[in-house]
Chains A and B, each alone.
Chain A
Amino acid sequence: DTAVSQTPKYLVTQMGNDKSIKCEQNLGHDTMYWYKQDSKKFLKIMFSYNNKELIINETVPNRFSPKSPDKAHLNLHINSLELGDSAVYFCASSQEWGRAGFSYGYTFGSGTRLTVV
């Protein structure tokens, strides 16, 4: 029973297209996140949501729009895809409140490998 599941696992698409990545967690966690891991393997926070409320919105182009219909789901929609968007996108969840300085650690999904051609 997968704790944090993302779909699709692989996504190959042309520049200019719009695509979505879905994430679901069954851990009962309150906070969910999107991270981007680029070709240099650097993991960077993009967004966090706490029980449907947007908490963190890092310097991400506004072509990226997260949506959280409920606390178990956090989707990522990307408009007008560019070559530089090619990366692995990881969803994660944690049980603590998104504004807490203390963390129990995050559980990650297996990632979505996005290739823009």
Chain B
Amino acid sequence: RKEVEQDPGPFNVPEGATVAFNCTYSNSASQSFFWYRQDCRKEPKLLMSVYSSGNEDGRFTAQLNRASQYISLLIRDSKLSDSATYLCVVNMPRSNSGYALNFGKGTSLLVTP
């Protein structure tokens, strides 16, 4: 099983649509979860953290289900500027007792006029 798994898309949606992305992760001991956004030829940027109780930031809502190791991101009222790749990210143990953010391969979103 891949450590962080996402549907790669692409998702093509019209402006104003609602779109949902899903992600699963393999390590049940993981404690921190995020959605990052990456524009073409740019660095990943933190979109939002994801909490067990679910959290909202404007048009964006993130949910975490620890029991099923599942994370989601909902974007309401899509804007053209939301077009990007959305990366599901989980903090996981690595070598030498270190931890690092593990990235999914990303889900591509294209919002069209």
Contact = CB atoms under 8 A, between A and B. Distances in A.
Instruction: Specify whether A and B are partners.
Output: yes
Interface of A: 33, 40-45, 48, 54-58, 90, 98-111
B72 to A, nearest CB: 18
B21 interface: no
Interface of B: 29-32, 34, 42-46, 49, 85, 87, 91, 93-103, 105-106
Given A41-B106, A90-B44, A106-B101, A55 B96 contact: yes
B31 A98 contact: no
B31 A101 contact: yes
A56 B32 contact: no
Secondary structure class of chain A's binding surface, majority of residues: loop
Contacts of A90: 43-44
Contacts of A58: 94-95
Contacts of A103: 31-32, 34, 91, 99, 101
A108 B100 CA distance: 13
A46 B85 CA distance: 22
B43 A105 contact: no
The 8 lowest CB-CB distance pairs between A and B, nearest first, are A56-B98, A55-B98, A108-B43, A103-B32, A43-B103, A103-B91, A45-B100, A101-B31
